């Protein structure tokens, strides 16, 4: 035991170890997806798929009930003049506005209500407060909880604390799905991203998510690829599917299509569904709508024809 106390590690037995990441290989592989493109019917199907995978989000201090109601309407009616558009996957709001979203969505709506919790976005809060915030959001009607990990604990090597916290938040979700936000822009290396992904998955995450959208860089293709490989390895080992949500920095449909190609080739067709893949990128919706309108009408519509909220 003396060696365990003097080696300075908070994980002396390697309980939270992860395979090393080949940064050069990951970067080169991710770059190849940027040279790919979809045409005609495949592109049209891909654009509609992207819309169905978006979590429309408003997470600002100036959020009001009116803004949330507008967001919910847009989630269900992306563009009334374009036929056969899907609704978005979810709306994501602060816990205090979950009831507003619940009342705003129609009874037949397929749009989920997601709520950030656990002292979003910094994660600097007492555990009892984080658990109470999670429970109340679910009781108010949240179908999904987007939690942030304690990056300070992770970066100091206290992986057991991070794992235990995720497990307790998962229990507090009372059946709601849990998305665990790693805030990859603060983790520093791809090896850290892989380790955080593995910890989140093993501790009960239903989804792993790159970012809060408050830190730059947010989602990137290489970071997302590392997280997809963690999901793949877990699936090969256990047969359990885990979802993925890149968030922040994805505002153009061309880039979103490249993400779909990467998901398909890394995880397979089963993940090409909003049950297992989401985009946290509200600004993406309007760009995709403009592309769909172009395909339908042959010309681009002006940006003012698409609501910002």
CA 36 – CA 272 distance, rounded (Å): 17
55 classed as catalytic: no
**If you compute the radius of gyration of the chain from its CA atoms, what whole number of angstroms results?**
20
294 classed as catalytic: no
Catalytic member of 74, 112, 179, 245:
245
Q: Please give the C-alpha separations between residue 43 and each of 140, 260, 288, 300, 303, in angstroms, as whole numbers.
A: 38, 11, 11, 16, 21
Which contiguous run of DSSP H or E holds residue 222? helix 221-238
Q: What angle do CA 202, 229, 116 make, to 5 degrees?
A: 55
Q: What angle do CA 189, 158, 142 make, to 5 degrees?
A: 85
> Which residues, including other chains, have CB under 8 Å from residue 114's CB and lie 6 or more apart?
55, 90, 91, 92, 93, 142, 143, 144, 145, 146, 179
Q: Please give the C-alpha separations between residue 231 and each of 83, 152, 194, 289, in angstroms, as whole numbers.
A: 35, 24, 10, 30
Q: What angle do CA 46, 48, 51 make, to 5 degrees?
A: 110
Residue 118 near residue 76, CB atoms below 8 Å:
no
Catalytic member of 146, 198, 206, 287:
146
CA dihedral over 168, 248, 143, 244, signed as positive or negative: negative
245 classed as catalytic: yes
Catalytic residues: 146, 209, 245
């Amino acid at each position: 035991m003396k060696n365990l106390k003097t080696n300075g590690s908070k994980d002396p037995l390697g309980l939270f170890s992860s395979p090393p990441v080949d940064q050069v290989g990951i970067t080169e592989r991710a770059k190849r997806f940027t040279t790919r493109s979809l045409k005609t019917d495949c592109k049209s199907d891909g654009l509609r798929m992207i819309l169905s995978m978006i979590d429309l989000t408003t997470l600002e201090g100036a959020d009001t009930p009116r803004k949330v109601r507008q967001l919910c309407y847009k989630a269900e009616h992306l563009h009334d003049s374009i036929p056969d558009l899907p609704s978005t996957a979810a709306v994501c709001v602060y816990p205090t506005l979950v009831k507003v979203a619940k009342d705003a969505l129609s009874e037949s709506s397929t749009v989920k209500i997601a709520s950030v919790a656990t002292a979003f976005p910094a994660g600097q809060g007492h555990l009892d407060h984080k658990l109470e915030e999670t429970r109340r959001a679910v009781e108010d009607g949240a179908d999904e909880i987007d939690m942030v990990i304690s990056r300070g604990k992770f970066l100091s090597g206290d992986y057991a604390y991070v794992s235990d916290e995720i497990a307790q938040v998962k229990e507090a979700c009372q059946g709601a799905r849990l998305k665990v936000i790693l805030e990859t822009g603060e983790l520093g290396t791809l090896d850290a991203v892989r380790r955080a992904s593995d910890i989140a998955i093993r501790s009960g995450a239903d989804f792993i998510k790159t970012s809060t959208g408050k830190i730059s860089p947010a989602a990137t293709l290489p970071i997302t690829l590392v997280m997809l490989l963690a999901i793949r390895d877990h699936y090969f080992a256990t047969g359990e599917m885990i979802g993925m949500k890149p968030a922040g920095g994805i505002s153009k449909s061309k880039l979103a299509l490249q993400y779909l190609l990467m998901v398909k080739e890394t995880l397979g067709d089963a993940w090409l569904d909003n049950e297992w893949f989401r985009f946290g990128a509200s600004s993406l919706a309007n760009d995709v709508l403009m592309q769909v309108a172009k395909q339908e009408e042959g010309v681009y519509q002006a940006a003012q024809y698409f609501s910002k909220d």
